Copies of this chain bind each other. A is one copy, B any other.
């Protein structure tokens, strides 16, 4: 193997690495920022700390995001993947009972969103909404509304198939979304800072919620 080839390979590798880093930079910064914003809130998170956690210097952060606020917005956008279409299709193809769908919906949501770092976004937005009304509106349109729609469609299926009672769909959806949002909020607030005093097992929590949601508190006569 020729020297040039060797040099070439080395250069290629290093260059690749460099380019990978360059490409990866924004992602690394967004990851670090998500962690810190969720942990401390927007104002209490220092730009330098985000940079440090991403392994770069203060200046580099501003090479990719023109301001801390833009970084915040990018973090939100980055973590709001419109996976609702995909989920819609999954549920469209679902063959079981609607009760099973509801259980699946909440369980899968926990696995794919609730348990992941992305769930921090919800906590973040609810906490900071009033300081970032445009972000809040954006989130409402991109996440909440589609989420409500998806849930609404499930409930409607239940009604249409005679499985569920006649429901006030506009508000019944909250019976599914509220427990999930609550779980996330707790996970990222009390659950994160005083776990010993606030034990909350997600699986058991969701099981209990689904169970009561489907059959209610009262005994069936």
Interface residues of A (CB under 8 A from B): 39-44, 99, 102, 125-131, 133, 136-137, 139-141, 144, 155, 158, 162-165, 167-168, 170-172, 174-175, 178-179, 181-183, 185-186, 188-190, 192-194, 197-198, 204-205, 207-209, 212-221
Contact = CB atoms under 8 A, between A and B. Distances in A.
A215 B213 contact: no
Contacts of A133: 193-194
B215 A216 contact: yes
Contacts of A162: 219
A180 to B, nearest CB: 9
B163 A219 contact: yes
B172 A212 contact: yes
A173 to B, nearest CB: 9
A219 B165 contact: yes
Nearest to A209: B175
A171 B200 CA distance: 8
Contacts of A183: 178
Given A165-B218, A178-B209, 6 more contacts: A41-B41, A102-B217, A127-B189, A171-B204, A214-B217, A215-B218
8 contacts: A43-B43, A144-B198, A171-B209, A174-B179, A175-B213, A178-B209, A212-B213, A216-B216
Closest 7 CB pairs of A and B: A216-B216, A43-B43, A171-B208, A129-B189, A178-B182, A127-B127, A215-B216
